[in-house]
Amino acid sequence: MPKVKRIDHVAIVIDDVDAAAAFWQDALGLSITKVEEEPAEKTVVAFLPVGDGEIELVKPTDKESGTARFLEKRGPGMHHICLEVEGLDDMVAHLKAQGVQLITESPAQKPDGTRYIFIHPKSAQGVLVELYEKP
For the chain, strand residue ranges (E) read 3-13, 34-38, 43-50, 53-60, 77-86, 108-109, 115-119, 129-133
Residues 6+ apart with CB under 8 A from 7: 53, 81, 82, 83, 84
State which residue, 65 or 123, has the beta carbon closest to a copy of itself.
123
- Which positions from 99 through 118 interact with a copy of itself, judged by CB under 8 A? 100
Nearer to a copy of itself, 78 or 108 (CB): 78
CB closer to a copy of itself out of 111 and 125: 125
d(CA 97, CA 100): 8
Q: Does 69 bind a copy of itself (CB under 8 A)?
A: no
Q: Interface residues with a copy of itself (CB under 8 A)?
A: 1-7, 10, 12-14, 16, 19-20, 22-24, 26-30, 50-53, 55, 57, 74-78, 81, 83-84, 91, 94-95, 98, 100, 121, 123-127
